[in-house]
Structure 1
């Protein structure tokens, strides 16, 4: 039986690129009406005004999370900068659940002292809170209070850290605002048309890690967030490269004849699952990065590709058309058995796990359209999340709350994001060039 033409066409589509702007602007298209109302008060500035507006970064992070709706600045009933200045009743009247306040003080060293607090508007009892590593008894409405000395060029990074702490305090889940994304851009006609970029999760502080005259594909982060594995076509053949994000040191780890593709790091960072066609047909292999030992996982006439590790490292999932159409299969290392996971619909591919392995996001075809969907691993039920078109290349945030992917919106090729409950959606616009293959980093702190 030959591989399906549809699956081959989909593989070709995965090699195509997506038009978006390089300077990313995020347009929220759904979800704020259901989000929790909070307030992020502009921080009091003492001395030299910094280039980074810390409170604005926190505000943007919380809004773009899809979980919170910061009220407009014009609706703030007051602008306190310390806990002592907070009168709770006006905030209760405008309906916010919590507020973030703070100040930024310029120091003679050129650094800044940043102080912030998170106040629960509806709590009055006393409680012990952790302040700079010390337990202190305060009014129970103070959920967080911290002070840090931050270099001027680190203010944006620290603002993301504040947002992480606020998000965790209000949801019980770790925030992912201090993470990064990697993506590939294509600008034809330039000396180096293909570039691999790394940026903050919101598109800021982008830098080009790799420039090439030949295509770059499938970036994938190492578990420690220090390296990227990707496919390069230098020398006019596919190679799998591992590159350090901070030193730019790189090495080719797989350059067998034929396809070398779809690298995926093991949870311990010691191995890569990859797709190779060196023996004639695309199959799944596991490569030990220290010993370079290669273990073949699949043996089938069908196309087996897009491996992804189970979060506990016990096995792999991958895409295969061995059943007649692209579906997700699971391979267990202990038993050596392969099991089909998806039965809903006739196209499911590009599976990615949430961090705790309760859900899996994938590309799912609905009424002839490719959408991002989530599958509950207990019930195996698949729920479409998106309404964009030709969705591909999903990558999930390390806290499992959001998915970034490539899509078509309003006739334009864009990046997009969606919450894993489907209640929040956003389009990520850029001004020129082409972009593809977004990859969300693990936690970096």
Structure 2
């Protein structure tokens, strides 16, 4: 299902197949700025229950290629759970016992300290410790010996440790995101850290690449490629770069979504006339149709427990979000607020549904509490696309337009804390947040 941002009505792109609405632009050659793989995070907004934390500069990190304390603090701020306390002038490392009275005066509730040391073999020894300032309690720490290329990953893992110790929930900073850029007439699929940094190209093509979707184990990406002049679904092994063809049936093959067990995918196929939902084995094979529908059914998204598939359908006359059992059956309508709702994403904990709703001609990110049906708009932008939940269900990454450019944002579920991941230039779209990484 495709829409033109300047139109009030659904439109059919050529070749006729339903795709996410922004793919009309992807099928038309438009000039764009060069895509940048490195992003600068900018956090905006103030939450209601943020924990004040100080992260002191790590001893000797001035000689490190990465400023670890700054990465840790940016991660924590972006989560919406923490507010930074100025640690300027602090001379501490993981062996120091801090003056808690001093940090209480600065209104800090917790304090992280550490060091980074370059070893003779060129690797780096990174150590840190976390303190509860209120109780004067040592909350533990960790140490790592890593190559230069893993300094950012270590920083994210330190932030994960702090987040979990102080909130009781798992942090997502060491996870990865994928996204697509368009540079001139070339499309690239990227894999990056959760803050958008350290991006690595997984695929580049002169034809559109859309709908990247992480496998539950984080090792593979399903996506749709137009390199054979029609939409075809592939699965790409991130580590090796090898890929396998999943769906290349007559007509359109689009919108792959992984089942939580990783054994199958839901896809949208038009092979039997009209765009309908099917499931197919993760190694390919004969697809199984889920429903018989006279409308267009597309954009499947599994619930975290694998029991349901949420999807978009115009069976009621306009695009709305429905759900159906993962093995098929009767569909149940989910969205009733607004006349045009697309791009469903279900939080891994099953509590929330993120989607895009057209409001007065603007496309805005909305979040529904699935237990009550309460819906809130969480953005004030007008061209939001493709929401995807973090694996701890606490943040959403999405694409939007700012100053006429595509950019990536993360937001808390209440919309109070947003972080802009877009760089100084680039046409960026199609984000998908990967699963937790194995330690």
Q: TM-score, normalised by structure 1?
A: 0.89
Matched, 1:227 2:220: yes
2: distance between equivalents of 1:5 and 1:277?
A: 25
Matched, 1:173 2:201: no
- Which residue is equivalent to 2:15? none
2: distance between equivalents of 1:409 and 1:35?
A: 27
2: distance between equivalents of 1:378 and 1:34?
A: 23
1: distance between equivalents of 2:368 and 2:419?
A: 21
1: distance between equivalents of 2:404 and 2:207?
A: 27
Contact 1:31 1:425 in 2 (8 A): no
SS of alignment partner, residue 308 of structure 1: strand
Matched, 1:25 2:40: yes
Shift of the 441–333 alpha-carbon distance from structure 1 to 2, 3 Å rule, reads closer
2: distance between equivalents of 1:210 and 1:236?
A: 17
Matched, 1:51 2:65: yes
Cα distance, 1:146 vs structure 2? 2.0
Matched, 1:109 2:121: yes
SS of alignment partner, residue 52 of structure 2: strand
- Which residue is equivalent to 2:265? 272
- Which residue is equivalent to 2:355? 362
- Which residue is equivalent to 2:76? 62
Cα distance, 1:275 vs structure 2? 0.3
Contact 1:184 1:196 in 2 (8 A): yes
Cα distance, 1:150 vs structure 2? 2.3
SS of alignment partner, residue 390 of structure 1: coil
Contact 2:215 2:221 in 1 (8 A): yes
Q: Which runs of 5+ in 1 are unaligned?
A: 125-140
Shift of the 82–197 alpha-carbon distance from structure 1 to 2, 3 Å rule, reads closer
- Which residue is equivalent to 2:341? 348
Contact 1:165 1:175 in 2 (8 A): yes
Matched, 1:150 2:146: yes
Cα distance, 1:406 vs structure 2? 1.3
Cα distance, 1:90 vs structure 2? 0.6
1:280-319 equivalent positions in 2, closer than 5 A: 280-290=273-283, 292-319=285-312
Pick aligned residue for 1:13 from 21, 33, 41:
21
Contact 1:352 1:360 in 2 (8 A): yes
1: distance between equivalents of 2:19 and 2:262?
A: 27
Cα distance, 1:34 vs structure 2? 5.9
SS of alignment partner, residue 389 of structure 1: coil
Number of equivalenced pairs: 421
1: distance between equivalents of 2:160 and 2:396?
A: 17
Contact 1:7 1:321 in 2 (8 A): no
Pick aligned residue for 2:51 from 20, 33, 36:
36
- Which residue is equivalent to 1:255? 248
SS of alignment partner, residue 234 of structure 1: coil
Q: TM-score, normalised by structure 2?
A: 0.90
SS of alignment partner, residue 286 of structure 1: strand
- Which residue is equivalent to 2:427? 434
Cα distance, 1:107 vs structure 2? 2.3
Q: Which runs of 5+ in 2 are unaligned?
A: 13-17
- Which residue is equivalent to 1:138? none
Matched, 1:419 2:419: no
Shift of the 31–83 alpha-carbon distance from structure 1 to 2, 3 Å rule, reads same
Shift of the 11–110 alpha-carbon distance from structure 1 to 2, 3 Å rule, reads closer
Cα distance, 1:194 vs structure 2? 1.2
